[in-house]
Amino acid sequence: MKEGLKIVTIGGGSSYTPELIEGFINRYDKLPVRELWLVDIEEGRQKLEITAGLARRMIEHANVPIKLFTSLDRREALKDADFVTTQMRVGQIEARIKDERIPISHGLLGQETNGAGGLFKGLRTIPVILDICRDMEELCPDAWLINFTNPVGMVTEAVFRYGAHKKTIGLCNVPIGMERGAMDILKAKKEDIFMTFAGLNHMVFANHVFLKGKEVTERVIEGWGTQSMKNIKALEWSSDFLKTLGVVPCPYHRYYYMSVENLKEELRKYEEHGTRAEEVKKLEAELFEIYKDKDLATKPKQLEQRGGAYYSDAACNLICSIYNDTRDIQVVDTYNHGAIDFLEKDAAVEISCVITKNGPVPLAVGDLPDTVKGLVSQIKSFEIAGAKAAVTGDYNDALTAMIINPLVASQSSAIEVLNELLLAHEKYLPQFSKAVSILRSNS
């Protein structure tokens, strides 16, 4: 019997990797990682080497016996893995820039994981994740796949519907940020509050907040105001609206409940200095320069400026809980299993779960308020349609997904943006080769 765990991180050259390393180091007494493999593709070789250099210095500085390996061969790395994490960006940051710039040029919100941009990130990502699932079924069938590659909801839905490896959990940092926001409002310590969440990825609500055993949801709603995250402008919520809504919204809900205001802000940024993706490109370049410092042996503070900060630590926490069968409560993307009764039993939902060695067990919510059910159902329809399009490569499937998304909601704009994005991302959408060929012949 082997001693310790083998963990594989696909997208190991990500700027988030130092946070992952820190998480494993801090939990080593409870999570004995024997081997950690950082995997990337040829285009990411340089970033992988830089990140691995910092990771090795962090491990040496912490004096923990983790053996670090790097590879450009995914199958070599996956053999006999216990856990696999995925944190990749198909097409790298340049693809994200197109996802954001092209929709906004047509007067639609350009956002990495929502609307037209989110759909195309899903279309590029899902086939790769499904390939990873096939490899895992062959090479490490008992391993858990922990995915925090966006759009997490659509990716998880695709794996549940079409994937070969069902031991898959999606993960997001948004509930962590919301918990921190509630702590600020309540001036409370983490151990004194308890929140339950239900909904979908980037469409999740906190339906109950407790402080030392007393429900204080209304207090949090009253003070929610400008609570947000670094990558979403903190437009102020109307407390009267939130009281009627009856639940605490996540930052991404601003794109749906404040669409006009957000579009105006995105257009201003687009005209003045570019998109959030271009800001991230600059920030990542600065981070990798910092990572090169041979004297750096800890996670740099600047990493917290990335919108996805705490993703990796959440992944480490989840892995630790599965391994130790702690049965604590965490918010993950998993099978609904009837926990939210108006969604399909096998749909992917983001919900508070008891984490066991057999995976997440969702806490039954029953219902969500009528005020939010329609939007949640519409986004679930979008995720299902997007997952289908990613698998079929059918133009009409992609168009349907685009049109039913409430951030598009225009047939003419959907066709224009769909066509332009298909041509722009041709290299990373081989399943749409027929549709792209027709578009090129008609142009």
Query: For the chain, give me the number of helices (H) and strands (E)?
Result: 17, 12
Q: Which DSSP symbol is given to 182? A: H
Angle of CA points 414, 130, 108, to nearest 5°: 20
DSSP codes joined into one string, 199-263:
EETTEEEEEEEEETTEE-HHHHHHH-TT--BTTB--PPPPHHHHHHH-SBPPGGGHHHHSHHHHH
Contact call for residues 161 and 172 (beta carbons, < 8 A): no
Separation CA 163–CA 404 (nearest Å): 24
Residues in the chain, total: 443
User: Does the annotation count 252 as an active-site position?
Assistant: yes
Burial of 99 (0-12, 13-18, 19+ CB in 10 A): buried
Q: Which DSSP symbol is given to 190? A: G
The H-or-E segment that residue 368 falls in is none
User: How far does CA 374 lie from the centroid of its chain?
Assistant: 23
Separation CA 352–CA 194 (nearest Å): 11
Point out the catalytic residue in the list 16, 162, 252, 257.
252
Separation CA 393–CA 122 (nearest Å): 12
CA nearest to 414, candidates 109, 135, 162, 178: 109
Q: What six digits make up the tokens of 437?
A: 């060929």
User: How far does CA 397 lie from the centroid of its chain?
Assistant: 23
| Residues annotated as part of the active site | 252
